[in-house]
Amino acid sequence: MKNLFASFALFVFLGLFVTAQAQTQSGSYYFDTNTPNYTLHDKDGKRTVDIEVTFKKPFEKRPNVVLSVITMDVKNMGDLKYAVEPKSISRDNFVVSVTVWGKTQINSIGGNWIAHEE
């Protein structure tokens, strides 16, 4: 009876572990002057570039997405003004959106993302 209970407990634990693993996905993003419609390195004022990221496996519910910046190549190191945010988050995908303003000029920017369900 103890072996049956232990086996059942192990089965439940592994099931929860696999389910928890399936609810998290991660990856990386990178924008540079070769990215279509990339304008972060030109001119002044507000400029935005977006890249769509598709999840390998759709989530059951809309996930939370967290972004980080790992690398950035800046033309003029003055007042650096930029924002990196996830937009249009769905069960299947989201958009990484990078915006600069003022005289900020970025040749490239990249980082990581993680998506998870609560």
The pLDDT tens digits of the residues spanning 10-25 come to 444 445 555 555 589 9
Tokens linked to 25: 């996905």
Instruction: Give me the pLDDT at residue 2, please.
Output: 57
- Pair 80, 109: CB distance under 8 Å: no
The larger pLDDT score, comparing residue 37 to residue 115, is at 115
Mean pLDDT, the chain, whole residue set: 85
Q: What is the pLDDT of residue 12?
A: 47
Provide the pLDDT for residue 16: 52
Residues 6+ apart with CB under 8 A from 21: none
The string of pLDDT tens digits covering residues 23-65 is 899 999 999 999 888 999 988 889 999 999 999 999 999 999 9
